[in-house]
Amino acid sequence: MAVSAAHTRASIKYNKSRDNITIRPTKEDGAEIRQAAEAAGQSVQGYILQACAERMQRDKTK
């Protein structure tokens, strides 16, 4: 299915407003993270972002 020019422009605009952070866990750690995210009913990205937000909040209160 072809993507319209408007869709392409919208995707480019959206992607410009996002950051890109790459992590490279071991295969074992990656599998554990995926399983934990699935068990929590979250995407891997959502799971990791929530974990980071909770950690940052804890660190602020120290």
Q: Is residue 41 part of a domain?
A: yes
Q: Is residue 13 part of a domain?
A: no
Split into its structural domains, the chain has a count of 1
Closest CA to 36 of 23, 24, 51, 52: 51
Q: Is residue 4 part of a domain?
A: no
Q: Is residue 32 part of a domain?
A: yes
CA atoms within 13 Å, Cβ hemisphere of 40: 15
Q: How far apart are CA 51 and CA 49, in angstroms?
A: 5
Cβ 40 vs Cβ 47: under 8 Å? yes
Enclosing domain of residue 55 = 21-62
pLDDT tens by residue, the chain, 62 residues: 789 999 999 999 999 999 999 999 999 999 999 999 999 999 999 999 999 999 999 999 87
- The whole-model pTM stands at 0.79
